[in-house]
DNA sequence: TATTGTTATACTCTATAACTATA
DNA sequence: TATAGTTATAGAGTATAACAATA
């Protein structure tokens, strides 16, 4: 009983895992995902990828599914289903590209604009979840270093 | 045609997304996951979580499912199925804890030890995937900052 | 009564192949 | 022939509830 209790409180060793970026990314993602769901996801009924998609449309006015699939790392069929759901909720609309009948312009509706603006406001509360452990300067440095990992 | 082509090569705006840790974590994870699968996952038939689990057993000799579930952020039922698969492959074994019949000791088999040592060697090739964009000092700083996000 | 682990099950996420339409 | 997007479908990942065994 005492032995088992002691074992549970013992810090476990990470071995070479402590030097691996992917491991730390996964651990950090658990924290950010929980913070997102608490501040944005549950209150506004948006999953992370839906929030990102609507934020991109807010910043760019109109994007093609092709562009969205690339930046969100989604396959075309999965993006189609995602857009279907957002369209059914009246948050986005799909227009045919007048210059190229194969492609589309995806835009926010008025309701979609309103929702993503509210969600964006709520998202500002997320930083509170880890600001006690990370200073503003450290946070800024972290974002820069992460961008270096995937930009190329 | 020309207009569409131009649009595709235009950098899209991130808006407030550029200030959000979760977004950059997700983008960086795509890179590290691809690197993992290329260097470790496909060659050794291990998913990320399986690799992490075996690495933890290599560093700690024996851990309970409870401990593994916590550090890997898995629910108990999902960990059970994961351990079942690794046990069926002869990579781990489950022993009853002699001090507490409710809990188990999960250990690497000889084959499991051999496999995870090979996989760990292969994992050293992962850093090559982003080292051109991140110096060793930047990489070390990144790992430290990420640990701060989830440690508390 | 609480804890560890399992079983059963459902829901979401992701990936591939085959298709339509436009260029 | 190539590209944008869709449909259908299968597999992997993840969550909850109900259960058995032990403390």
We report the CATH number of the domain holding residue B77 as 1.10.10.10
Residue A136 lies in a domain: no
**Beta-ladder partners of A102:** none
Give pLDDT tens digits for A113-131: 999 999 999 999 998 888 8
Chain A interface, mutation test: which of B75, B122, B146, most A Cβ atoms within 10 Å?
Answer: B146
Residue A76 lies in a domain: yes
**Nearest nucleotide from residue A78 CA, by C1' atom:** C14
pTM for the full model?
Answer: 0.92
Report which of A106, A64, A103, A105 is spatially closest to residue A85, judged by C-alpha positions.
Answer: A106
Give pLDDT tens digits for A74-99: 999 999 999 999 999 999 999 999 99
Q: Which domain range does residue B73 map to?
A: 19-126
Residue A141 lies in a domain: no
| Number of domains making up chain B | 1
Full pLDDT tens readout for chain B, 152 residues: 333 333 334 689 999 999 999 999 999 999 999 999 999 999 999 999 999 999 999 999 999 999 999 999 999 999 999 999 999 999 999 999 999 999 999 999 999 999 999 999 999 989 888 888 999 999 999 999 999 999 97
The answer to whether A16 and B55 have CB atoms below 8 angstroms apart is yes
Among the partner-chain residues B12, B30, B152, the one whose CB lies closest to the CB of A67 is B12
Among the partner-chain residues A21, A52, A152, the one whose CB lies closest to the CB of B143 is A21
Residue B6 lies in a domain: no
Please report, to the nearest 10 degrees, the dihedral formed by the alpha carbons of residues B35, B38, B43, B48 taken in order. Answer: 40
Give pLDDT tens digits for A18-49: 999 999 999 999 999 999 999 999 999 999 99
| pLDDT computed for residue A10 by the predictor | 61
CA distance A67 to B10: 10
CA distance A87 to A133: 39
Residue B32 lies in a domain: yes
Cα within 13 Å of Cα(A141), Cβ side: 17
């Amino acid at each position: 009983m005492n032995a088992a209790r002691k074992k549970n409180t013992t810090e476990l060793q990470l071995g070479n895992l402590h030097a691996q970026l992917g491991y730390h990314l996964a651990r950090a993602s658990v924290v950010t995902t929980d913070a997102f769901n608490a501040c944005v996801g549950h209150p506004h009924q948006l999953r992370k990828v839906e929030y990102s998609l609507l934020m991109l449309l807010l910043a760019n006015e109109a994007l093609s599914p092709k562009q969205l699939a690339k930046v969100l790392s989604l396959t075309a069929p999965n993006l189609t289903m995602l857009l279907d759901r957002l369209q059914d909720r009246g948050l986005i609309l799909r227009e045919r590209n007048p210059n190229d009948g194969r492609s589309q312009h995806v835009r926010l509706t008025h309701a979609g604009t309103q929702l993503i603006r509210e969600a964006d406001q709520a998202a500002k509360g997320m930083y509170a979840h880890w600001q006690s452990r990370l200073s503003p300067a450290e946070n800024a440095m972290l974002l820069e270093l992460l961008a270096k990992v995937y930009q190329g």
